[in-house]
Amino acid sequence: VLFRIMHDPRTAAFLTLEENAYIAAHVPYTAILTKKEAARADVRDRKDRWIIKPRDSYGAHGIYPGRQCAEDEWRAMLDMHADTDYILQEFVEPYRTDNIYFGVEGTPAWQSFSNMTGVYLYGGRLAGIYSRASVTPIISVEGDEHEMTSIVLKKRS
């Protein structure tokens, strides 16, 4: 929802040109999935660039990445979820790294993972890092999410 607010014309009106350019370059386009948004040709015809999901959800429930839908299925999902508290968001491919994975049987092997790193703030200051990874581009608890150790290195004084 914060990304939607950042792309809202009312927000753009009080930001500087530099701030708006930063948002356009670094924040995935996000909007409420209205019938008007769902009817956009670039959304309907370029499904691999988009994802739709509930406005307030977690665990990847109700998420539809265009790249995982057939053309007709994608258009049906757009029509079905327009004006139903869903958002439309530009899909950003997570960065990938190779990591050791112990698998079900505990045998270590290299595996390529999509990564998502988040930060914890406390009192406005960095208090920690949370790293999640998945074999698929959709990183969720309900999918195959894995938590990873994060280490912050500081130079000694």
Please work out, in degrees rounded to the nearest 5, the angle formed at the alpha carbon of residue 134 by the alpha carbons of 128 and 136.
Answer: 145
Sign of torsion over alpha carbons 116, 96, 46, 59: negative
What does the pLDDT look like over 79-127, one tens digit per residue?
999 999 899 999 988 888 898 888 777 789 898 888 888 777 888 888 8
Distances (CA, A) of 13 to 3, 18, 25, 55, 137: 16, 12, 17, 24, 34
Task: Return the SS3 of 20.
Answer: helix
- Does pTM surpass 0.75? no
Local confidence band at 66 (pLDDT 50, 70, 90 cut-offs):
very high
